């Protein structure tokens, strides 16, 4: 199982393709705070709810100095379909190799309907302007999570 990140850790660097195949890197966001959220699969009910919540609150988060990047193991083509179908504005990147998911502690054993399975652990890591982990939240719920982040960050 992958190690979970703790506040103060250096956020693992990454460069991943977005829905259009463009390379998105964490380093390009230096000087801004970044909410990196990890979700199991595009076009599924919980992940759709979460992505729509981030999209609906994107301007509030941006005004508070936060960029948002959603990471899943999906390929860019599926991310593009997800974005178009749900009218998403949040940046979505794909990590089919699961290397970034693993580096962030967002891939490993989890409970699903009472069974232990290996998969994406719904997680959110908030990275500060210097690239350090400010908060690392694991096993989060899709519904209400964005509102909780906004409340916890005092936005």
Catalytic residues, by residue number, are 47
Strands (E) across the chain are located at 15-17, 23-25, 33-38, 66-72, 91-94, 107-112, 115-120, 123-127, 133-138
Contact present, 69 and 34 (Cβ < 8 Å) = yes
**Tokens 């393709």 sit on residue:** 17
Contact present, 35 and 68 (Cβ < 8 Å) = yes
Helix (H), strand (E) at residue 78: helix 76-86
Rounded to 10 degrees, the C-alpha dihedral 100/44/54/147 comes to: -110
Eight-state DSSP code of residue 98: -
Q: Pull the structure tokens for residue 100.
A: 């970034």
């Amino acid at each position: 199982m992958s190690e979970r990140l703790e506040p103060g850790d250096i956020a693992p660097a990454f460069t991943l393709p977005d829905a259009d195949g463009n390379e998105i890197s964490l380093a390009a966001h230096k000087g801004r705070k970044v909410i990196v959220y990890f979700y199991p699969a595009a076009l599924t009910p919980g992940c759709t709810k979460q992505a729509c919540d981030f999209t609906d609150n994107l301007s509030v988060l941006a005004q508070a100095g936060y960029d948002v990047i959603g990471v899943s193991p999906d390929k860019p083509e599926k991310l593009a379909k997800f974005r178009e179908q749900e009218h998403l504005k949040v940046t979505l990147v794909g990590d089919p190799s699961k290397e970034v998911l693993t580096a962030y502690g967002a891939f490993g054993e989890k409970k699903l309907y009472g069974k232990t399975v290996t998969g994406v652990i719904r997680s959110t890591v908030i990275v500060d302007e210097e690239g350090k982990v400010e908060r690392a939240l694991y096993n989060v719920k899709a519904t209400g999570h964005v509102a909780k982040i906004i409340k916890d960050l005092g936005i």
